[in-house]
Amino acid sequence: MTNRFFVSSDTISELKFIIKDPSLLHQMTRVLRFKPSEKIQLLDNTGKIYEARVMEINEKQICGKIENIIEKPDMPKYKINLCMALLKKDKFEWVLEKACELGVYEITPIVTKHCVKKIDKIPERWHKIVREASEQCGRTILPKINNIVAFKEAMKKYSPGIICYADTKNSIHDIELPEEINLYIGPEGDFTSEEILLSGQNKIEPVNLGSNVLRAETAAIATMAILNI
């Protein structure tokens, strides 16, 4: 499989490319051990794939030529903003990776009453996970990670939508959904009854995923799969 890399827009010019980003240089030269004549694909986050060939490698940059340009915009069935409650580190990072593979459009970390993990700032590692997952699965546009927000604030900014809640009779299979969806998934301890009441006041409809009670990370990926596959 040809290696894919997201690059800044100024990397590509007039059917040539020059890569100077230190982390990308390290990956290509030290980890993948690229040599001249290597074929790669470059992505500039516009929906285009640049099929390219490496021509020159040194410690400061990698240069090459663009051999073909393919228009391949990401076209998921739904544009989903996954409003995901903060989970323990490894679980949340797993959700980030798998949501990218399943076509998530945006990711909004939210803080709810039962969140075990609470942070204020997006870790740089999250952007790396999203980029690498998108490269691996062949996406051409990176999902956006929004700022971390409290549940009440999220209700005001990201509505209408749906909220996964086991104690409701509404099945996700039985409701009509718009093309753009704000999807709320709770933490390990689920949403409180007060939070569900607040969501209803903000046009966020509760839905269940079936008779089994799912873990938070499973619910996020199961819902994404139901909607976009």
Q: Are 55 and 125 in the same domain?
A: no
Q: What is the pLDDT along the chain (229 residues), one digit of tens a residue?
A: 789 999 999 999 989 999 999 999 999 998 999 999 999 999 999 999 999 999 999 989 999 999 999 999 888 889 999 999 999 889 999 999 999 999 999 999 999 999 988 898 999 999 999 999 999 999 999 999 999 999 999 999 999 999 999 888 899 988 889 999 999 999 998 999 999 999 999 999 999 998 888 999 999 999 999 998 7
- Report the sign of the C-alpha dihedral through residues 192, 193, 196, 201, in that order: negative
Residue where a domain terminates, one of 26, 46, 71: 71
Kindly state whether residues 13 and 115 are assigned to the same domain. no
Bridging pattern class, strands 16-19 and 79-85: unpaired
Task: Tell me the C-alpha distance between 120 and 112, whole Å.
Answer: 13
Q: What's the pLDDT at 228?
A: 87
How many domains are contained in the chain?
2
Q: What does the pLDDT read at residue 213?
A: 87
Bridge partners of 53, per DSSP, are 39, 65
Domain encompassing residue 45: 3-71
Tell me the Ramachandran region of residue 210: left when phi exceeds 0, alpha when psi lies from -120 to 50, beta otherwise.
Answer: left
Q: Residue 1: what pLDDT?
A: 77
Residues 92 and 148 occupy one common structural domain:
yes
Question: CATH no. for residue 12?
Answer: 2.40.240.20
Give which of 7, 10, 46, 43 is closest to 24, Cα–Cα: 7
pTM > 0.75: yes
Do 158 and 215 lie in one domain? The reply is yes
Q: In terms of domains, do 126 and 159 share one?
A: yes
* Residues 97, 38 share a domain: no
Q: Are residues 159 and 90 in the same domain?
A: yes
Q: Does 84 lie in the same domain as 66?
A: no
CA distances from 109 to 66, 84, 129, 158, 187 (A): 37, 5, 15, 12, 11
What CATH number should be reported for the domain holding residue 208? Answer: 3.40.1280.10
- Residue 114 and residue 14 in one domain: no
Does residue 110 share a domain with residue 57?
no
Of 44, 71, 98, which residue is a domain's last?
A: 71
Q: Are residues 185 and 123 in the same domain?
A: yes
